[in-house]
């Protein structure tokens, strides 16, 4: 426990921070480097690491790979898949269809704030998702 009675245990904080830097493969010159000085992908991993320290049962991710390079994106996808295998429920919002198809077991498609499609991701195509995203409902799939 890093905080007890409102007092932060600096030794535990240092240990756990280093643990997440290693496990998430965060590239940083040191633990003291400000997050704003890291690359976009490493900044995303720092944010994810902070949430993982809370040991969540459900993790909501809104565009978790937006604006980061392909290598960092692959690392974050790998981490998300690992968390799912460990039993963490992942709810991910993404506007990138390949990401949605590659990372999801179930997919809900929204159009103008309403659900227009629900799918189990088995042999699902981008065309089916795009049809629902354009407002052509497919609620029985």
Q: Is 138 exposed, middle or buried, given 0-12, 13-18 or 19+ CB atoms closer than 10 A?
A: middle
Is residue 92 a part of any domain in this protein? yes
Domain count, the chain: 1
pLDDT digits (tens, 9 = 90+) for 34-51: 999 998 889 988 998 888
Is residue 133 a part of any domain in this protein? no
| Structure tokens, 30 | 């040191």
pLDDT digits (tens, 9 = 90+) for 14-24: 898 999 899 88
- Identify the band that residue 56 occupies on the pLDDT scale cut at 50, 70 and 90: very high
Report whether 27 contacts 72 (CB < 8 A). no
CA of 97: how far to CAs of 60, 92, 109, 126, 127, in Å?
A: 18, 12, 11, 7, 10
Give the relative orientation of helices 70-85 and 40-52 as an angle to the nearest 10 degrees: 20
Is residue 121 a part of any domain in this protein? no
Residue 46: give the domain boundaries.
3-104
The residue that leads in pLDDT, 29 or 136, is 29
Is residue 129 a part of any domain in this protein? no
Is residue 16 a part of any domain in this protein? yes
What per-residue confidence (pLDDT) applies to 138?
64
Is residue 135 a part of any domain in this protein? no
């Amino acid at each position: 426990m890093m905080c007890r009675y409102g007092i932060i245990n600096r030794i535990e904080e240092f240990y756990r921070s280093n643990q997440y830097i290693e496990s998430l493969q965060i590239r940083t010159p040191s633990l003291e480097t400000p997050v704003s000085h890291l690359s976009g992908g490493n900044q995303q991993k720092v944010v994810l690491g902070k949430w993982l320290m809370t040991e969540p049962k459900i993790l909501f991710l809104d565009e978790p790979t937006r604006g980061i390079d392909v290598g960092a994106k692959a690392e974050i996808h790998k981490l998300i898949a690992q968390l799912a295998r460990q039993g963490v429920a992942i709810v991910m919002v993404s506007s990138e269809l390949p990401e949605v198809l590659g990372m999801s077991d179930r997919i809900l498609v929204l159009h103008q704030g309403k659900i227009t499609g629900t799918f189990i991701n088995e042999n699902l195509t981008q065309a089916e998702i795009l049809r629902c995203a354009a407002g052509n409902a497919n609620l029985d799939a």
